[in-house]
């Protein structure tokens, strides 16, 4: 039997993305409290995510949303990582408020945001070990959050994943809107 890499690439990338989800799950968490949620976006939902990014460009005029919408369609899948909001009760002040109780509504606990960063870093480190192309996208994370794909989560980041001969997430050019 001869198996060409091109015939198994998509399956291998999805397997690796599932491993990235595990890496995000097992990453260290502030106070050992797990508020991280992780999901995998595949198939037709990649188009939904791309379309949402285009709609967000229409709302805010920021061209990087168009560029990232195109990048999403070049990915095999996208790993999304966010946290359920939960103050950790340390009164550390990292959120900008002296106490957890004094925090304004909607301001995330800094430890929750740090947890997202550590989980994303762990997932990306595994992807690098597997020689996959990734990029952390704030824009696609916001789009996934607004689509409700991680219910109840804040600070969502997205990691598009690719295995191609040229990293589609490097040397990216800004997209021009269609007139």
Q: Residues 34, 40, 142, 161: what is their CA dihedral angle, to the nearest 10 degrees?
A: 110
Query: What pLDDT, on the 0 to 100 scale, is given for residue 172?
Result: 61
Query: What pLDDT, on the 0 to 100 scale, is given for residue 29?
Result: 92
118 lies in a domain?
yes
Query: What pLDDT, on the 0 to 100 scale, is given for residue 149?
Result: 98
156 lies in a domain?
yes
93 lies in a domain?
yes
Predicted TM-score (pTM) of this structure: 0.91
3 lies in a domain?
no
CATH number for the domain that contains residue 59: 3.40.109.10
Please name the residues in contact with 63: beta carbons below 8 A apart, sequence gap of 6 or more.
57, 174, 175, 176, 177
Strands 77-83 and 133-134: unpaired
Q: How many CA atoms lie within 13 A of 33 on its CB side?
A: 16
77 lies in a domain?
yes
170 lies in a domain?
no
| Residue 68: closest CA among 86, 44, 51, 91 | 51
Helix/strand number for the chain, H first, E second: 5, 4
179 lies in a domain?
no
What domain count does the chain have? 1
Supply the range of the domain harboring residue 116: 13-162
Mean pLDDT by 10 residues, the chain (179 residues): 90 97 96 94 98 97 94 96 91 91 88 95 97 96 98 95 86 65
Query: What pLDDT, on the 0 to 100 scale, is given for residue 71?
Result: 93
Note whether 118 and 34 are within 8 A (CB): no
Query: What pLDDT, on the 0 to 100 scale, is given for residue 106?
Result: 84
């Amino acid at each position: 039997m001869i198996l060409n890499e091109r015939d198994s690439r998509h399956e291998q990338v999805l397997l690796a993305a599932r491993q990235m989800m595990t890496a995000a799950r097992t990453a260290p968490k502030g106070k050992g409290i797990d508020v991280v949620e992780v999901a995998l976006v595949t198939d037709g939902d990649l188009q939904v995510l791309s379309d949402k990014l285009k709609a967000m460009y229409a709302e805010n005029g920021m061209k990087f949303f168009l560029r990232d919408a195109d990048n999403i369609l070049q990915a095999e899948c996208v790993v999304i990582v966010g946290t359920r909001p939960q103050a950790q009760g340390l009164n550390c002040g990292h959120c900008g408020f002296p106490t957890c109780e004094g925090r304004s509504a909607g301001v995330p606990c800094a430890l929750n945001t740090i947890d997202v960063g550590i989980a994303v870093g762990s997932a990306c480190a595994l992807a690098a070990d597997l020689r996959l192309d990734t990029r952390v996208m704030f824009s696609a994370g916001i789009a996934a959050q607004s689509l409700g794909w991680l219910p109840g989560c804040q600070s969502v980041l997205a990691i598009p994943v690719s295995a191609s001969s040229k990293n589609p997430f490097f040397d990216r050019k800004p997209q021009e809107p269609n007139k």
